[in-house]
Amino acid sequence: MSEPERVKEDEKAGTAGREASAARVIGVLGAGTMGAGIAQLACRSGARTLLYDPIPEALERGLQRARQGLQREVERGRLSAEEAQAGAARLQAVDDLAAFAPCELVIEAVPERLELKHALYEQLSEIVSESCVLATNTSSLLVTAIAAGASRPGRVVGMHFFNPAPVMRLLEVVAGEQSEQDALAIAHATGEAMGKTVIRAGDGPGFLVNRCNRPFGLEALRLLQERIADIETIDRVCRMEGGFRMGPFELMDLVGVDTGFEIAKSFFAQSFGEPRWRPSPITARYVAAGLHGRKSGRGYYTYAPAGEGGAAGHRAEDPEPAGAAEPGLGEGVVVIAGGGRLADELRDAAGAAGYEVRSPHDPTGGVFPALIIDCDRQPPTAGSAAGSAAQRADRRAQGPALPQGGAHLVLCAAGSLQSLDPGGSAVGFHALTPLSQGSLVELTRSETSSPVAAGRAERFFKALGKHVAWVGDAPGLVLGRIVCQLINESAFALGEGVGGARDIDLGMVLGLSHPHGPFAWADTIGLDHVLAVLEALCEEYREERYRPAPVLRRLVQAGRLGVETGAGFFDYED
């Protein structure tokens, strides 16, 4: 079976067994913040809902929290007063697990301790019927491991709600090794009755969404470790160029640096040392120093105490988009070489800004271009300067020659600036499509880069309405590295059958508020561009961490490069 056919078959398999009725009697085990939120969703969906916690005070707090949540939904216009009242009437606190006997579904939301969950599942197995589904809300333990405590492990599934459960639109339904299809279907239907967009995931570290998001923080930490950019610049690039709501360091501070470090260690241990998931020594140092993020007042940023500006005061606001350029800023000739969507978007944007745009084929007429932008540069394969010069001469002989005499700007996708222009005067840049959605472009320079090229590059992107950020040299620079690794991790998950392409994209957008799903973004960028960045990183660092996923490589080999070719991870109509 070909790779495109296999991806489609996985999508079909992910929808199998979803025809089922939602549970009409739901037990919620654990009345903490998550349990109370799940109980609110369950009673609102029309199910009789039983809430249990072994600590009476916690049970009472959870009951009140769920009822208050219903009232807040009324205040926000999401429920009528009558609907909230009916939901509250369906919610009942119970003081004994035996009260769960009539439940069709029990959702467990207790602390993440395997021995505790095993004891509870053993008890529940003696109380509920053989058809009852036992669902765990775990986010860090394997569903398969939890199911070992039940007498009927086939009835155990994962229902991973995202916090806060009543607000977040996503639910992951996770299949353990022995989970039965009808049990998964009941969980799926119940999640939809609760108003959630439900995606399917296979069992494994982080399931689907948290796994695919691993590179967002880990690659940012690696960039910081290599001094490619500082914390503020990395976060600003992700927000302004990538469209992320928060930068990775802001997010790590919000989650808790110590919490993130424990998760990272768990991923690495459960994978038996997967290089892509290696924890960062930077995080280890921060945790040792007690710098745990917002909750400790200091993490990657310093936070003002409550009442003195709060956490929002940790960074300066991003500058507004540059907007319309000054008249005359875009005057002159620019030559843009190379194919692909980014080169096409640069041509369109430069023309709209007032530049006269030419290709390497066009005669110069004796006019030297202000800037020559090379979007097609490939790294030399020989190690010596002579070999590099010979290869550049070969490329000039085989393709259109770039004009001489202008300042050069090189796209750093297939390599770092140093590898693409060794000893040369060019400046490097990187940007991702769609170019129009970002308000910032990254630039880099080497020790031999021309100040004239740097100035003209800044002027060019200013004319296009973009801010610039100067960063260190590396394939993909900052955002390209992070996004290509997000795509790569998602492609590994797809190839391993952890989830389907559409479920992965939905999960990343709805569960984590990413600006695009990784596969839709890859199809827009061009899978060949993504693969070029990953191969360049793999070549430069010689680390397994950057090896491209087989699915990605096979799609490129099959000519499925994304939107431009009409097919990539997804198919596109003409």
Please write the tens of the pLDDT for every residue from 395-426.
433 444 565 657 999 999 999 999 999 999 99
Same-domain status, 462 and 501: no
Secondary structure E strands in 276-399? 333-337, 356-358, 371-374
Residue 461 lies in a domain: yes
Same-domain status, 52 and 136: yes
Give the phi and the psi of residue 304 in degrees, each rounded to 5: -70, 145
Residue 327 lies in a domain: no
Q: Beta strand pairing status for 440-445 and 427-430? A: antiparallel
Question: Residues 139, 117: contact at Cβ < 8 Å?
Answer: no
Same-domain status, 340 and 463: yes
Q: What's the mean per-residue pLDDT of the chain?
A: 90
Render pLDDT for 25-68 as a digit per residue (tens, 0 to 9).
999 999 999 999 999 999 999 999 999 999 999 999 999 999 99
3-state helix, strand, coil in the chain (%, to 5): 50, 15, 40
Would you mind telling me the total number of residues written for the chain in this entry? 574
Angle at 202 between CA 196 and CA 204, to 5 degrees: 115
In 3D space, the residue among 235, 212, 213 whose CA is nearest the CA of residue 224 turns out to be: 235
Of 470, 493, 508, which closes a domain? 470
Dihedral, 505, 507, 508, 513 alpha carbons, nearest 10: 120
Assess whether pLDDT exceeds 70 at residue 393.
Answer: no
**CATH, residue 260:** 1.10.1040.50
Same-domain status, 167 and 97: yes
DSSP alpha helices (H): ranges in 273-415?
Answer: 281-288, 341-353, 385-398
Interacting residues of 88 by C-beta distance below 8 A, sequence separation 6+: 43, 67, 70
Q: Give the range among 215-229, 387-401, 547-561 with minimum mean pLDDT.
A: 387-401
158-173: average pLDDT: 96
Strand order across the beta sheet in which 48-52 lies: 91-94, 48-52, 25-29, 105-108, 133-136, 156-161, 170-175, 197-202
Q: What is the pLDDT of residue 304?
A: 82
Same-domain status, 426 and 573: no
Render pLDDT for 447-471 as a digit per residue (tens, 0 to 9).
999 999 999 999 999 999 999 999 9
62's enclosing H/E stretch is helix 56-75
DSSP alpha helices (H): ranges in 271-409?
Answer: 281-288, 341-353, 385-398
**CATH, residue 182:** 3.40.50.720
Distance in Å from the first CA to the final CA of the chain: 25
Instruction: Tell me if the bond preceding 164 is cis, omega within 30° of 0.
Output: yes
Interacting residues of 130 by C-beta distance below 8 A, sequence separation 6+: 152, 155
Amino acid at 531: L
Question: What domain range includes position 355?
Answer: 333-470
Over the range 255-272, which residues count as b (16 or more CB within 10 Å of their CB) and which as e?
A: bbbbebbebbebbbebbe
Give the other-Cβ count within 10 Å of 158's Cβ: 28
Nearest-angstrom CA–CA distance, 527 and 521:
9
Of 153, 171, 201, which closes a domain? 201
Residue 4 lies in a domain: no
Assess whether pLDDT exceeds 80 at residue 562.
Answer: yes
Residue 3 lies in a domain: no
Q: Return the structure tokens found at 208.
A: 């689907």
In 3D space, the residue among 395, 398, 397 whose CA is nearest the CA of residue 410 turns out to be: 395
Instruction: Tell me if the bond preceding 434 is cis, omega within 30° of 0.
Output: yes
Render pLDDT for 339-370 as a digit per residue (tens, 0 to 9).
889 999 999 999 999 999 998 877 666 678 88
Same-domain status, 350 and 483: no
Same-domain status, 197 and 213: no
* More confident site: 412 or 13: 412
Residue 1 lies in a domain: no
Same-domain status, 367 and 433: yes
Q: Beta strand pairing status for 170-175 and 105-108? A: unpaired
Same-domain status, 157 and 50: yes
The secondary structure of residue 563, as a DSSP letter, is G
The secondary structure of residue 537, as a DSSP letter, is H
Residue 536 lies in a domain: yes
Same-domain status, 110 and 174: yes
Residue 93 lies in a domain: yes
The secondary structure of residue 509, as a DSSP letter, is I
Catalytic residue IDs: 172
Residue 24 lies in a domain: yes
Same-domain status, 353 and 453: yes
Of 414, 436, 470, which closes a domain? 470
Same-domain status, 446 and 464: yes
What is the model's pTM?
0.90
Domain count, the chain: 3
Q: What is the pLDDT of residue 329?
A: 67
